[in-house]
Amino acid sequence: MLHARREEWQDADAFLEDAFDRGWTDGLPVVPPTPEKVEALLAAAGLAAETVLGTVPTREVTVTAEHAAINAVMAGCKAEYFPVVAAAVRAHLDEHGNCHSTTGTLSGAAHAVIVNGPIRDEIGIAYGAGCLGPGFRANATIGRALRLVIRNVCRAVPGFLDRATYSWPLRYSFCFGEDEAAGDWTPLHVQRGFGPDESTVTVHSVMRMVSSWDSSSRTAEGVLDTIVADTRHHGFNGDEFLGDQIPLVYVMGKEHQRFFFAEGWSKAHMQEYLFGRLTAETAGPHDRRYNLGHPENILIVAAGGAGMAETWILFPHLAWAVTEPIERVTLPA
């Protein structure tokens, strides 16, 4: 049974204009969340409306599956996307996701939703060429659904509980998959303790996103040394809340991946190589230590298309990277 307040509008256009007026959107049009559509999403995830996905204690907010489903419909999600949205909301609201801080911060941190496992191909999560940008319904609407939950349910509205100085475009939507078949690397979710046949989301707060572009190096070590230098240009001092779990995400494209596949580098080997170099003492104003606690806190994700010799560095805000399983039900044929 649904619990949200219902209202009647003259038609979909009237709903949309009212949604803009009431501040229910991110500035883009939304789909009217009819009870039938919301129920279809809940059914696809096997969740009761009142299932609690998490809380924001500082705002006295409890987020239910119904809240998430309403906002997922508004974002344009298909029913089969909702298990991913529910898992992403859980991950975001995990205690270590530090949701009050990452959504209220002056820095305007965004949230990357990284999808692993079989569900990627089942629902069309893009992980190849162009996967960080527009053009893919699953990526665009799942990332947007999380942001609408943050806005409408968790009350992170600009000028109210969202105090971002600039905010940034990644806050509209930021979701992509890992290209698990790119080579013989262990997928991210398997490195984090899940089975290869399980599907997961990893939510990572992103304070800044920096390109590490290197089209000159012809060895794996050369590529990694460039990535280290670009990472250390910014560095990270450490933080009491994060403790020894400060994360760092590298999204490595094909033109960099191929050196590692050719030379037989595993992700674990890369993590070890990077860890010592990233945590070495600061050497100057443009060479700052990145205060990681463990090599495993370096999350390496294969994604993107061919052509650009580039790895994206996703620097965190004040949150751990949290991985949650995607729970689904088998729908009748």
Partner 1 sequence: MTIVALDPTSGPVDPTTVRRLAPRPASLSGQRLGLVVNGLGYSERFLDALAEELLATTDLDGVVKVVKSSVSVPPDPGDWSRLTEGATVAITGFGG
The values of phi and psi at residue 93, to 5°, are: -90, 0
For residues 11 and 109, what is the distance between their CA atoms, to the nearest angstrom?
Answer: 36
Nearer to partner 1, 98 or 271 (CB): 98
Nearer to partner 1, 73 or 251 (CB): 73
Q: What's the closest the beta carbon of residue 180 comes to partner 1, in angstroms?
A: 33
Q: What's the closest the beta carbon of residue 267 comes to partner 1, in angstroms?
A: 28
Q: What's the closest the beta carbon of residue 5 comes to partner 1, in angstroms?
A: 4
Q: Given the DSSP bridges, would you call strands 52-56 and 61-64 parallel, antiparallel or unpaired?
A: antiparallel
Q: What's the closest the beta carbon of residue 241 comes to partner 1, in angstroms?
A: 4
Nearer to partner 1, 25 or 186 (CB): 25
3-class DSSP assignment, residue 312? strand
Q: What's the closest the beta carbon of residue 6 comes to partner 1, in angstroms?
A: 5
Q: Which of 224, 118, 134, 135 is nearest to 177 (CA)?
A: 118
The values of phi and psi at residue 264, to 5°, are: 75, 30
Nearer to partner 1, 32 or 158 (CB): 32
Three-state SS letters, 99-127 = HHHHHHCCCCCEEEEEEECCHHHHHCCCC
Cβ-based neighbours of 167, under 8 Å, separated by 6 or more: 108, 158
Q: What's the closest the beta carbon of residue 202 comes to partner 1, in angstroms?
A: 21
Nearer to partner 1, 68 or 274 (CB): 68
> b vs e for 134-150, b when ≥16 Cβ sit within 10 Å of the residue's Cβ?
eebebbbbbbbbbbbbb
Q: What's the closest the beta carbon of residue 238 comes to partner 1, in angstroms?
A: 9
Q: What's the closest the beta carbon of residue 211 comes to partner 1, in angstroms?
A: 23
Q: Given the DSSP bridges, would you call strands 200-206 and 110-116 parallel, antiparallel or unpaired?
A: antiparallel
Nearer to partner 1, 309 or 318 (CB): 318
Structure token digits, residue 208: 């800044």
Nearer to partner 1, 208 or 269 (CB): 208
The residues that touch partner 1, with contacts defined as CB under 8 A, are 2, 4-12, 15, 24, 32-35, 38, 60-63, 67, 70-71, 74, 98, 101, 106-107, 148, 152-155, 165, 239-242, 318
> b vs e for 227-247, b when ≥16 Cβ sit within 10 Å of the residue's Cβ?
bbebbbeebbeeeeebeebbb
3-class DSSP assignment, residue 324? strand
For residues 13 and 21, what is the distance between their CA atoms, to the nearest angstrom?
Answer: 12
Cβ-based neighbours of 28, under 8 Å, separated by 6 or more: 172
Dihedral angle sign, alpha carbons of residues 7, 8, 12, 16: negative
Q: What's the closest the beta carbon of residue 34 comes to partner 1, in angstroms?
A: 6
Nearer to partner 1, 125 or 246 (CB): 246
Nearer to partner 1, 160 or 195 (CB): 160
